[in-house]
Amino acid sequence: MQRITILFILIFLILGNSSLAQSFLPIFNDTLFFERPDTAFWQLTINDYDDDAGKGIVMFVRNAIIDSSGMSVLPVIGIVYEKLPSDSEDVIYYSLKCRYQSSFAREIDSVLSWQDGFVTYRNAVGYLASYTSKGVKHKILLVHMIHGDIGIQIICDSTESVYEKVEKDMRRFLKSVTMQ
pLDDT in tens, 107-165: 888 998 888 888 888 999 999 999 999 999 999 999 999 998 899 999 999 999 999 99
Q: Which residues of 86-116 are buried (b: 16+ CB within 10 A; e: fewer)?
A: eeeeebeebbeebbeebebbeeeeeebbbee
Domain boundary assignment for the chain: 20-179
Give tens-digit pLDDT for 19-43: 446 688 888 878 889 999 999 999 9
Per-residue confidence (pLDDT) for residue 44, from 0 to 100: 95
What is the number of other CB atoms lying within 10 angstroms of the CB of residue 3?
7
**What does pLDDT average to over the chain?**
85
Q: Specify the pLDDT at position 166.
A: 98
Which listed CATH number (1.10.1040.10, 3.40.1000.10, 3.30.750.24, 1.10.3720.10) goes with 20-179? 3.40.1000.10
Is 168 within 8 Å of 155 (Cβ atoms)?
no
Q: Which of 12-21, 73-82, 114-123 has the highest mean pLDDT?
A: 73-82
Q: Percent of the chain, pLDDT > 90?
A: 57
Q: Is 60 exceeded by the pLDDT of residue 6?
A: no
Question: 50-61: per-residue pLDDT in tens?
Answer: 988 889 999 999
Residue 10 has pLDDT above 60, yes or no: no
Asked if residue 180 has pLDDT above 90, the reply is no
Please tell me the pTM assigned to this model: 0.83
